[in-house]
Structure 1
Amino acid sequence: MKKEIIIVAGPTAVGKTKYAIEIAKAMNGEIVSCDSMQLYRFMDIGSAKPTTQEQAEVKHYLVDQIDPREPFSAAEYQKRAKAAIVEIFDKGKTPIVSGGTGLYVNSLLYDMNFSAPPVGNAYREKLEKLAEEQGNEAVYNRLKEVDPKAAERIHVNNLKKMIRAIEVAENTESGIKPFEESFVKTNDYNYTLIGLSRDREELYDRINQRVDLLLEMGLIEEISSLLSMGLTEENISMKGIGYKEIIGYLKGEYDLEHAIYLVKRNTRHYAKRQMTWFRRYEDITWFNISNYPSDEDVIEEIITWLREKR
């Protein structure tokens, strides 16, 4: 039989870390993080990284791996995560993938090819110059000529994505495919996809409480330390929710109260986008934690369901 991984997905603050740990304990597993922020070193508080104690309970992969000053991509994540999955299989254990970064989940479910088409920098620079001289609309009009369907999906303000779509369209027959047609399920392993959710009011309350807790734990001091290391708001790692808003406060753009409001609001909006993303998966099995008396009851039902499924 083909080997199987278990994926625990869901919005931020839903409780994925706790559930993944308990599932890993019950299923002889080890955890592969699927979170775009927990990868980074020195970013412990703002990323709500698993604690030292939690990581001691079950081995975690892809946590504290990347220097936040270095670029990181979904392609690199896929490579590292699949290597971790193989390592866990080789131990005779079950990989438990846990996280809420949708593109990273996709990279493990589907045979996604992240390689760029063979296009020279000169052509890309020509399109960038066109946008600079005549506006993004000129590039958008070019995209409509070569790939009308992509033009329907890509906003005129997203210059980088428009250029990428033009490059693909002019170097392949198929162009950029929509989400539903872009990915073929991987043959590397089978997977069971678990979705965790909570009623919206409860989830939003948990998000607000988490933000308050992160501030108490020293989020502002953590970000100040990162800035002193030479990081700026231009680094991809510092564009994460919680970091970019506090940077604005530290730069004097608004007061702390408004910064906290922005973190909470943006986190709630992000959670909504995550739910929209994960609901697209037809083979996901959802567990609404709000419908149970306690976390323990949900965990017991999930573990029973997993064992029966096997």
Structure 2
Amino acid sequence: MKQTVIAVVGPTAVGKTKLSVEIAKAFNGEVISGDSMQVFKGMDIGTAKIASQEKQGIPHYMIDVKNPEEPFSVADFQTYVQHYIKEISSHHKLPIIAGGSGLYIQGALYDYNFSAQPRDEALTAKLEEELKSEGAASLHKHLEKIDPQQAAKIHPNNHRRVIRALEIYETTGKTMTEYQNEQVLESPYNPILIGLEMDRELLYDRINRRVDEMVQDGLVAEAEFFYQKGLEEYQSMKGIGYKEFIPYFENRQSLEESINILKRNSRRYAKRQYTWFRNKLNVVWYDITPSTAEERFRNILGDLAGMLKKK
């Protein structure tokens, strides 16, 4: 019999963390963070890690499991999440994934075979040399020509993923998009995906205010700490909430500009998240507003009770 797993998805700042705790309290569950940035130790404010009091005694996994110097891929994410699903199930608890990007959640719940994609160390080294000599923009343009769908998902500064997508094409003759589309979307679990959505203007206002709160809570100092450690080229510093301040630390941009760019990038990310989940996965959506969230959460818990009986 397949293990039931609940995933709470939707754009950033919509209320997924709070809902996941409510679900865990109602249905004897434990929570796995689906945010690939929350794995990095010390990167707390910029990744909006859940505070101890917010957990309300519910165990949380996949937080602070990597040092900021370490890489963390979608395949790593899949391995960790599947391990924690197994561990939580062994406690006779319900696994609940809170948040995360569409590709990562899809990879974990639908068992994409990332490790089977062939690697070619010589080709990787060659592409890394091209990155140094020609720059990130040139490499990303090359990816746009062969796999525009994947290029649209990968930021030019995410060198590791750009190189990986090019490497797959060079070694297999297939684009990463083709490779992903060929995989059968069948889950080893019984996944229930609960999606939260909000009016765009309300959501964008919420995102802007959350960024202001992060800055007040010490986000700039947190980002500068990792910058001073020389991590600006590492994956952890390329996440939204950290990369935006690097030009400020290098006296190329004002603090106000950096904060505004962070707000813009966060809004754009929210839009991409929503589009992915709408197009790729079977999600039960609930529209909420800040004032009706608690009432809507009660409705969701009632609906979930019925869904879990059917499973």
* TM-score bucket of the superposed structures, by smaller chain: 0.7 to 0.9
2:167 to 163, 166, 185: 163
In the other structure, the counterpart of 1:69 is 69
In structure 2, the residue matched to 1:239 is: 238
Opposite residue 242 of structure 1, the aligned amino acid is G
Q: What are the residue-to-residue correspondences of 1:189-204 with 2, within 5 Å?
A: 189-204=189-204
TM alignment of 1:283-294, pairs within 5 A: 283-290=282-289, 293-294=291-292
For 1:153 and 1:101, locate their aligned partners in 2 and report how far apart those are by CA, in whole Å. Answer: 16
Quickly say closer, same or farther: Cα 1:231–1:27, change in 2 above 3 A.
Answer: farther
Query: Partner of 1:208: helix, strand, or coil?
Result: helix
Are the equivalent residues in 2 in contact too, given 1:110–1:183 (CA < 8 A)?
no
CA drift of 1:128 comes to 6.7
SS in 1 for 2:7: strand
SS in 2 for 1:178: helix
* 1:224 Cα deviation after fit: 2.0
* Correspondences of 1:148-227 after superposition (within 5 Å): 150-151=146-147, 153=149, 160=163, 161-169=165-173, 176-178=176-178, 181-227=181-227
Question: How high is the sequence identity, in percent, across the aligned residues?
Answer: 42
Give the Cα separation in 1 of the matches to 2:2 and 2:73.
28
Matched, 1:270 2:273: no
Residue equivalent to 2:294? 296
Change (3 A) 1:116 1:261: same
Counterpart Cα distance in 1 of 2:44 and 2:127: 40
Residue 17 of structure 2 aligns to which amino acid in structure 1? T
Q: Bigger CA drift: 76-85 or 50-59?
A: 50-59
Which residue of 1 is the match for residue 45 of structure 2? 45
* Cα deviation code 1:198-251 (max 9, x no counterpart): 0000000000000000011011111222233x2432011001112111122121
The whole-number CA distance in structure 2 between the counterparts of 1:284 and 1:115 is 27
* Offset from partner CA, 1:109-130 (integer Å, 9 cap, x none): 2121112544543345566778
Q: Which amino acid letter does the alignment assign opposite residue 300 of structure 2?
A: I
- What is the distance in 1 between the residues matched to 2:266 and 2:220? 17
AA at the equivalent of 1:100 = G
Tell me the CA shift for residue 47 of structure 1: 0.5
Give the C-alpha shift of residue 182 in structure 1.
3.6
Quickly say closer, same or farther: Cα 1:118–1:12, change in 2 above 3 A. Answer: closer
TM-score (norm 2): 0.85
SS at match of 1:280: helix
1:24 is matched by which residue type in structure 2?
A
Q: CA–CA distance in 2 between the matches of 1:5 and 1:97?
A: 8
CA distances 1:39-96 after superposition (whole Å, capped 9, x unpaired): 1110110111000112353110001111011111111111111111011111111001
CA contact (8 A) 1:168 1:176 kept: no
- Output the aligned Cα RMSD: 2.8
Query: Does structure 2 conserve the Cα–Cα contact (< 8 Å) formed by 1:6 and 1:97?
Result: yes
Mean alpha-carbon deviation: is it higher for 182-191 or for 296-305?
182-191
Normalising to structure 1: TM-score of the pair?
Answer: 0.86
Secondary structure of 1:184's counterpart equals coil
Residue 256 of structure 1: CA displacement?
1.1
Q: Which runs of 5+ in 2 are unaligned?
A: none
Letter in 1 for 2:252: E
Which deviations, in whole Å up to 9, do the C-alpha atoms of 1:125-168 show, x marking residues without a partner?
566778969x969x959x98xxxxx5454559886223321212
Alpha-carbon distance in 1 for matches of 2:295, 2:191: 23
Residue in structure 2 matched with residue 23 of structure 1 by the alignment: 23
Gap regions ≥5 residues in structure 1 = 145-149
Query: Structure 1 residue 104: deviation in Å?
Result: 1.4
